[in-house]
Amino acid sequence: MHDSIMFSRQQYGTAKDMNTTINTYELMKERYPDLQAEGIVRDRADAAYEILSDCTLCPHQCHVDRTAGETGFCRTGNELIISSYSPHFGEEPPLVGRRGSGTIFFTNCNLGCIFCQNYEISQCGRGFQVRTEDLAEIMLRLQERGCHNINLVSPTHQVPGILKAVDIAAGRGLTIPIV
């Protein structure tokens, strides 16, 4: 597990600081909990939900009213839809570590890649609806199981609900990185 990363001069600062190793977990673990405590995550979730009434969340910019049950290219309405969640070991070693990446597979996708390895999930809609509170609980369970991060797979079209779930989960103690 790579718990740290070397920053270049452009990323970190002076030549003296260039070879400083920073523990990325320590660097990032407090950021979204801080934003949650300040109410910023909730505000961003509210702003993202407003977009759903004239949806432009992805580059397709379908302009459908997902709050009224309409669907666009992603075939997703107002509700969160996931296929599965678990510690996942099929990602890059820095994400997986020893205890896995807490992967949450979101159903449907705004890309539509014909060679997608997750085709049944991304294109055929295999999955089930969850409330934002349920998604928050899933994130907390993955953290309790020792996962090194929360890994959101195909999340773009479901960002409003994800932000609300992050707000709830961070308020209940979620601190691991979200990737």
Give one DSSP letter per residue of 72-98, joined into a string.
-TT---SSEEEEEEEEE-SS-HHHHTT
Q: Is residue 82, in this structure, part of any structural domain at all?
A: yes
Domain that holds residue 35: 30-171
Residue 55 has pLDDT above 80, yes or no: yes
Domain assignment present for 5: no
Q: How does residue 162 score in pLDDT terms, banded at 50, 70 and 90?
A: very high
Q: What's the pLDDT score for residue 30?
A: 52
Other CB atoms closer than 10 Å to residue 84's CB: what's the count? Answer: 15
CB 158 within 8 A of CB 106: yes
Query: Across the chain, what does the average pLDDT equal?
Result: 85
> φ and ψ at 83, to 5 degrees?
-100, -40
What average pLDDT does range 153-177 have in this prediction?
95
Asked, for residue 163, whether it belongs to a domain, the answer is yes
pLDDT one-digit tens code per residue, 86-121: 999 988 888 899 999 999 999 998 888 888 888 788
Q: Is the pLDDT of residue 18 over 80?
A: no
Question: Does residue 108 lie in a domain region?
Answer: yes
33 or 27, which is more confident = 33
73/26: higher pLDDT: 73
Who wins on pLDDT, 178 or 119?
178
Q: Is residue 136 part of a domain?
A: yes
* Domains in the chain, number: 1
Proportion of the chain above pLDDT 70, given as a percent: 83
For the chain, the straight-line distance linking the first and the last C-alpha, in angstroms and rounded, comes to 15
In a domain, 18, yes or no: no
120 assigned to some structural domain: yes
pLDDT of 20 above 50 = no
Model pLDDT, residue 118: 84
Mean predicted confidence (pLDDT) in 6-29: 44
10 Å Cβ neighbour count for 175?
A: 14
Checking if the pLDDT of 29 tops 90, the result is: no
- Whether the pLDDT of residue 6 is over 80: the answer is no
| Residue 57 included in any domain | yes
Cβ–Cβ < 8 Å for 108, 157:
yes
**pLDDT value of position 25:** 53
Instruction: Answer whether 113's CB lies under 8 Å from 87's CB.
Output: no
What pLDDT sits at residue 27?
52
